[in-house]
Structure 1
Amino acid sequence: MEEIVQVVGERIRNFRKERGLSQEELAHQASLHNTYIGQLERGEKNATIESLYKITNALGITLEELFHNTQTGPKANSLEITQIISLLENKSKKDQHTLLQLLELLVNWKDNN
């Protein structure tokens, strides 16, 4: 259960960053406290349905979009993969391409050792 809380928090953070909002701005628009938004994004708090509804409205998305692909089974992204995605999402396409090539080189090197 803890993993889904983490995944939902990451999804909230990703949607918020995509929209160029700070935690404070999202909290204001959702009529929630900014520390609560931070706790949700870090997976420290389990959100209520009402809070999720307010957050999705403030982000301009549906609850369905928030929970799309949030599976937590064997195919779910690990926390590390989610963190890698978060690091890369604000980089330029050129930087993403370069970092992908570096990652491929590292994986190939690791597989051959």
Structure 2
Amino acid sequence: MIGCQLISAENGVAEVGMPLTPELLNRGGKLHGGAMFSLVDTAMGLACSSAHGFDQRSVTVECKINYLRAVDSGDVRCVAKVLKAGRQLLVVEAEVLQGNKLLAKAQGTFAMT
């Protein structure tokens, strides 16, 4: 629904793109934080799947995001990387980027189900 597009996912790293559409903007005309968070959560989940195999599922246990820069047009992308893949829990970090500009930084924990 938010237009996430898988760019790559392998070896615990995933990259997902998202075009900014009018539906994703907040009242101030900037990318809504919830839409950006959904992009982050999607990329992190795919990074987990690429680390443990796409036949296994993972769920978000917790996630923290720092919004660093607002954006109002163009495409954004999220690169997520598994920092630690345990048997039951994975720790993942992510960056949301537009070109070389860092828009947000996140870290989360995922559980294998």
User: TM-score normalized by structure 1?
Assistant: 0.28
- Greater helix content: 1
Which has the higher Rg, Structure 1 or Structure 2?
Answer: 1
